Structure 1
Amino acid sequence: MSVSKRGLLTAGAAFATLMGLGFSTQGGIQASIANSQPHQQAPHLLAQKLQNLTIVFPSRADSTDLQTKADAVGAFLSKELGIQVTAQIGDDTAAVEALRANRADVAFLSSRPALKAEQLANSRLYLAEVRDNYSGKYTYDSVFVVSNNSPLKTRNSPKGTLEQLRGKKIAFTSPTSGSGFIFPVSELVKQGFVPNRDRLDGFFGQVSYGGNYSKALQAVLRGQAEVATVSEYALYSPYITPEEKSKLRVLYKISGVPAHGIAIDDDVPTADRAKIINALLKLNQPANNQLLRNLYNSTELVRVNHNSHLAPVRDALKRVGIEP
């Protein structure tokens, strides 16, 4: 464990250049890592007791003034652990690279970056976030959304509902978004409508990408697309207004998308890892809970098994023809 893991994380683009890796604003990976160096540990330091802790808090579309809020969590954890805790802000790319290079010990990550952190840094998720607007507590839905006046209707079977999309204009979130692309396309492959992610134009009349949740939904609101794919929580502020939400409805949903979680690097000693997890779980207590809610609107942290929590995204990636 490096005694000093200071220094602000540079913009994600710098790491993307170095690693051949990028992430969408929704937490998806834009490009696979090529010729990456294996995770390098510092053997001479592993026996030392953890003296400080660096946590990366990725920016998200629904987070504001994140550095101040992350610093407050860092101060709380510092008091609980009795060591200096430094909070750093960066995108998911920077978070994965910081774990790989031993510049950080802990990172809040969405599911696809968590898989990449496992691959490059042998980091694992130990906790997942719970939100009030998650249907499955620590999983949520990927949804196909249409306008209220759309002739498309929810049928009594997945195949019957999705068959109506043949020849239609669709706005995916981005080609790297889990709930806005990977899970919807995985479902289309599962139902036999497309063979993989590269053959979408054989089913849809037009395929476009909004770039983020808000823009994908705006494409439907403006009549530029007949259906959009997003996360279920994108149907609320700050992504769209209540008035805009009233003009939309969910046509079809895919449950079980893994919630964002907290990954810990493998070179954190086991005993220290347990202390970090227990300290983070104290954010669930009423006296401390507002610190957690301020970060990403999460209400609770829960323990998860890394492999089982991320299994749905592994399966979806495989089905659509993308390497994890």
Structure 2
Amino acid sequence: MAKGIPKQKNLLVVAALVVAIVAAALYLLQPTSPTSPPSPSPATTPSPVNRPEKIVVVVNPIPRDRVAKEATELEEFLERRLGVDVEIFFPLNVAAIIEALRFGHAHVALGVGSLPAALALSVADVELSLVEVREVIIDNKPVEAPYYYSYWIVLKDAPYRSLEELRGKKACFPSELSTSGYIFPMYRLVQLGFLKPPADPKQFFGEVVFAGGYAQCWEALKQGHVDVTIMAGDVPARLYWEAMNNSKILEQQGPMPSHVVLVSKKLPPEFKQRLKEALLELNQRQDLMRKFVSAIFVRFEERKAEEHLGPLIKALEETGLKERYLR
């Protein structure tokens, strides 16, 4: 698999992704099941259409040995519905998913986050087929939606009443590659006039920490290592409620788009439609899809890429970060 990845200003991030992509490329060569498809039963044999001999599906990075049985079940379901051999692969990271799509090593990607999806749409010959409706928390209420929000929080007994009072203080972000944990929070700071494009949190905060996840940032806030952090409405409910019950919200940002399904444009139109119908049929197998796309998956639904990813593109443009993250 080729090694090209999105350009980043941070050379250490770029170097790390290059190493990950090389490893993932080797990993992708290992199938999860035999390559010859089982014979479909007469009742489910698809009518003849122009179709490929085999399609490769990549999913969000998860240990494949944990879902080997379910992977086989999903492969066999798709093979019966599509009449072709289907192989599921588990890349080591999101960058490898993008590269697999970009260089034609994969035809379908499930559970792709909005930022890597936007990048894939800009560098690979793919289109957005479906979006995820998920169980998220908005305004402290569980809802089913294809979007969600994130929140700036401080400890409940902290003296701060607004983000403006946190100028020069310590802030924790999950990752520079997080839509809800970094890009949209930067967008909110720009909207409030605290940052100018290209947005850099160091323009406002005295110290910035990237802890690697929401749980790590919450722990840093609890321990007093930072003064403010971000919490999102799509994290595990236990983490969300622990954080929200012991903190106060200063600002919120969103709506932010949920995960998506990407499909190669090179697949025949009739076959892409059949694939979409098969995936929509999986809405009846929520238990199975929660293994592969999201633990809070509810269903797939159709939305246009411009409508779904529009808020993200606008955030990238107005923060001056679009060139950094998208080509």
| Bin for the TM-score computed over the shorter chain | 0.7 to 0.9
Deviation of 1:88 after TM superposition, in Å, equals: 0.6
Q: Which amino acid aligns with 2:147?
A: T
Contact 1:129–1:260, Cα closer than 8 Å, also in 2: yes
Residue 189 (structure 2) aligns with? 188
User: Kindly tell me: are residues 116 and 71 of structure 1, through their superposed partners in 2, closer, same or farther at Cα, counting changes over 3 Å?
Assistant: farther
| 1:292 partnered with 2:295 | no
User: Kindly tell me: are residues 143 and 65 of structure 1, through their superposed partners in 2, closer, same or farther at Cα, counting changes over 3 Å?
Assistant: farther
Residue 314 (structure 1) aligns with? 313
Runs of 4+ aligned residues of structure 1 deviating over 4 Å after TM superposition are: 30-34, 241-245
Residue 266 (structure 2) aligns with? 267
Q: Return the TM-score normalized by structure 2.
A: 0.76
Deviation of 1:50 after TM superposition, in Å, equals: 2.1
User: Kindly tell me: are residues 273 and 134 of structure 1, through their superposed partners in 2, closer, same or farther at Cα, counting changes over 3 Å?
Assistant: farther
| 1:107 partnered with 2:109 | yes
TM alignment of 1:1-324, pairs within 5 A: 18-21=3-6, 31=14, 49-59=51-61, 65-90=66-91, 91-108=93-110, 109-135=112-138, 137-153=145-161, 161-197=162-198, 199-234=200-235, 236-237=237-238, 240=239, 243=242, 246-285=245-284, 288-295=285-292, 296-297=294-295, 298-322=297-321, 323=323, 324=326
SS in 2 for 1:127: strand
My pick for the range that moved more, 228-237 or 187-196, is 228-237
Distance 1:110 1:31 in 2: 19
Contact 1:139–1:258, Cα closer than 8 Å, also in 2: yes
Contact 2:5–2:99, Cα closer than 8 Å, also in 1: no
User: Kindly tell me: are residues 241 and 316 of structure 1, through their superposed partners in 2, closer, same or farther at Cα, counting changes over 3 Å?
Assistant: closer
Cα deviations by residue, 1:233-261 (Å, 9 ceiling, x for unpaired): 23634xx3865664334332212111011
Distance 2:70 2:247 in 1: 33
Percent same amino acid at aligned positions? 28
Residue 45 (structure 2) aligns with? none
SS in 2 for 1:128: strand
Contact 1:121–1:266, Cα closer than 8 Å, also in 2: no
Contact 2:5–2:95, Cα closer than 8 Å, also in 1: no
Deviation of 1:151 after TM superposition, in Å, equals: 2.4
User: Kindly tell me: are residues 195 and 268 of structure 1, through their superposed partners in 2, closer, same or farther at Cα, counting changes over 3 Å?
Assistant: same
Deviation of 1:66 after TM superposition, in Å, equals: 4.2
Distance 2:276 2:123 in 1: 22
Q: Which amino acid aligns with 2:163?
A: L
Q: Which amino acid aligns with 2:204?
A: F
Contact 2:221–2:227, Cα closer than 8 Å, also in 1: yes
Deviation of 1:198 after TM superposition, in Å, equals: 5.0
User: Kindly tell me: are residues 202 and 134 of structure 1, through their superposed partners in 2, closer, same or farther at Cα, counting changes over 3 Å?
Assistant: same
User: Kindly tell me: are residues 189 and 73 of structure 1, through their superposed partners in 2, closer, same or farther at Cα, counting changes over 3 Å?
Assistant: same
Contact 1:170–1:228, Cα closer than 8 Å, also in 2: yes
Q: Which amino acid aligns with 1:321?
A: G
Cα deviations by residue, 1:266-305 (Å, 9 ceiling, x for unpaired): 10111111111110001112xx232123332201111110
Deviation of 1:184 after TM superposition, in Å, equals: 0.4
Deviation of 1:31 after TM superposition, in Å, equals: 5.0
My pick for the range that moved more, 143-152 or 267-276, is 143-152
Computed over aligned residues only, the root mean square deviation of the Cα atoms, in angstroms, reads 2.9
SS in 2 for 1:290: helix
User: Kindly tell me: are residues 31 and 249 of structure 1, through their superposed partners in 2, closer, same or farther at Cα, counting changes over 3 Å?
Assistant: farther
SS in 2 for 1:131: strand
Distance 1:87 1:249 in 2: 43
Cα deviations by residue, 1:60-119 (Å, 9 ceiling, x for unpaired): 69x992444343322222222222211111121111111111111000211111112112
SS in 2 for 1:93: helix
Q: Which amino acid aligns with 1:289?
A: Q
Contact 1:172–1:230, Cα closer than 8 Å, also in 2: no
